[in-house]
Structure 1
Amino acid sequence: MGDIHETRRAGARLDGTLLRRATVSDPATSRYVSGRDVCVRSVTVDEVDLFLFSAACWLPHRIHYDRSFALGEGLADVPVHGPLQATWLSDMVAGWADGEGGRLRGMTTRNLLSTFPGDRLTCVATIASAEPSGEDSGAVVSLDLAVRRDDVELVTAGTAVVEVPGPSRDGR
């Protein structure tokens, strides 16, 4: 089966450049700096992953598990499902939100290019903005989502909205 490796990093973009810290006065949003990658996951899938996802989700389209059929349709190989890529992103963002004590409120994705077994894909969630939620001194954090092939080519893009509670009385 394919490999999934997850790391969290703060203060650096996927391309390795350092972020400039913004001066933010609102305590509800001060820890959510626009442009910061909040979670990153590397994924490499194989044909077994695609077959199992097709079976689990009742997605019967042959292009996702029958190489001969996919080639006959003009594809380079069996393509990775768009919903599978969205699942990686939602799982990654929901995990980050849970770690912040919050929840994923919603997300959208759009598949831009096909990906294939063996492609090295990187899923990234980057803070786009943060606004006070008005509840419990919390914040609503908007994220830009991306799946990139070889850390460069954008294959899936999207957005997510996460609601997080405000700092507790002990300062966390």
Structure 2
Amino acid sequence: MDIAQLEKWIGKSESHVERIAPFPSNALAATLDRDDPHYTDGTPLPPLWHWMHFLQLFNLSEVGYDGHAALGGFLPPVPLPRRMWAGSRLNFLAPLSIGSELKKVSTIKSVKTKDGRSGKLVFVTVGHQMFDGDMLGIDEEHDIVYREEPRPDALVQTPPPAPAQWDFSRDIDPSPVLLFRYSALTFNGHRIHYDQPFCVGSEGYQGLVVHGPLLATLLLDLLRREAPEAIVRSFEFRAVSTVFDNETFSVHGAAEQDGKTFQLWARRKDGTLAMNAKAIIE
């Protein structure tokens, strides 16, 4: 792998303009079993729901073996077979509304390689900014990790235990229908989320993989249910371990003493940590 060649992508930028239609928000609200009023033009776009917009479109003939777009294009052509959403850091600076015409500017910020216990890793960080006219509404950093196929002799790492105390929580059934709906709403063709024979037989997972951004969305949705009038100002999360469709999991939250900072996490059925996150509200 020529890391110097991959680093040439740093600074590469692209931008897109899109009118934010109300249908994706109404569809996601139904998918999350929310009892929200109907989303229409002028309704504020809930935090993280911008992930259903500015989606990468590519022809079916350009799809790689795993359902992602083939290597190259805006993202650097990292020659490692497994690509996952590792985490994000977001600042919500101004409200963005459904019905508005928004602009998204994406920039490759860094490309780093690392030798992990499971083999070589490459981390690509992409910055995303969403504007309504000249007003910056969302400033986001998105970490993507590329991994080698796991070695047969690699040690299976046990995830750390999830926190044992929380202020509020919710159990989640990660059914294939939930995963399919989220894949459809985000135009995510990655086969690990819906193709069970591929996921288990070719990739070696124990079931369909729950999307990282879906876990993050469920964490922030939990906070919105607990504090429906709050305004989320920042949110960050990091994926820790994989959640599969054949076991229920739970999402949890705990308030810090300032009443504005919340620790959030996803807990697998065996009590281990799947994702941790932090949100600041006002």
TM-score by length of 1: 0.64
Aligned residue type for 1:74:
G
The alpha-carbon distance between structure 1 residues 112 and 61, as it changes in their structure 2 partners (threshold 3 A), is same
Identity over aligned residues, as a percent? 30
- Pairing of 1:129-140 with structure 2 (within 5 A): 129-130=257-258
Question: Which residue in the other structure is 2:170 paired with?
Answer: 41
Give runs of aligned pairs for residues 75-114 of structure 1, distance below 5 A.
75-98=205-228, 101-114=229-242
Query: Aligned-pair RMSD on alpha carbons?
Result: 2.3
Secondary structure of the equivalent of 2:274? strand
Q: 1:124 to 1:93 in 2, by over 3 A?
A: same
Q: Verify the 8 A CA contact 1:3 1:43 in the aligned structure 2.
A: no
Asked if the contact 2:207/2:246 (under 8 Å) is kept, the reply is no
Partner of 1:19: none
SS in 1 for 2:256: strand
| Pairwise CA distance, 1:111 | 1.1
Between the aligned partners of 2:267 and 2:255, the Cα distance in structure 1 is: 17
- Counterpart position of 1:121: 249
State the alpha-carbon separation in 2 of the partners of residues 156 and 43 from structure 1: 14
TM-aligned CA deviation for residue 90 of structure 1: 1.1
Q: State the structure with bigger RCO (CA 8 A, min sep 6), 1 or 2.
A: 1
Instruction: Choose which of 265, 273, 277 in structure 2 pairs with 1:154.
Output: 273
| The one of 186, 192, 195 aligned to 1:57 | 186
CA distance in 2, matches of 1:81, 1:156: 11
Q: TM-score, normalised by structure 2?
A: 0.40
Listed as ranges, the gaps of 5+ residues in structure 1 are 5-13, 17-35, 131-139, 164-172
Counterpart residue type for residue 239 of structure 2:
N
Q: Which residue of structure 2 aligns with residue 142 of structure 1?
A: 261
Q: Please list the CA deviations of residues 113-159 of structure 1 after superposition, one character each: whole Å capped at 9, or x if unmatched.
A: 111113221111111330xxxxxxxxx61111110012721111010
Could you tell me which residue of structure 2 aligns to residue 8 of structure 1?
Answer: none
Query: Equivalent residue of 1:129, what SS?
Result: coil
User: Once the 2 structures are TM-superposed, how far is the Cα of residue 95 of structure 1 from its aligned partner?
Assistant: 2.5
Q: Indicate the SS of the match to 2:182.
A: helix
How many residue pairs get aligned? The number is 122
> Cα–Cα, structure 1 residues 53 and 3, in superposed 2: closer, same or farther, change >3 Å?
closer
Aligned mates of 1:3, 1:56 — CA distance in 2: 12
CA distance in 2, matches of 1:161, 1:123: 17
Deviations 1:73-114 (Å, cap 9, x if unpaired)?
12111101111111111111123222xx42222211111111
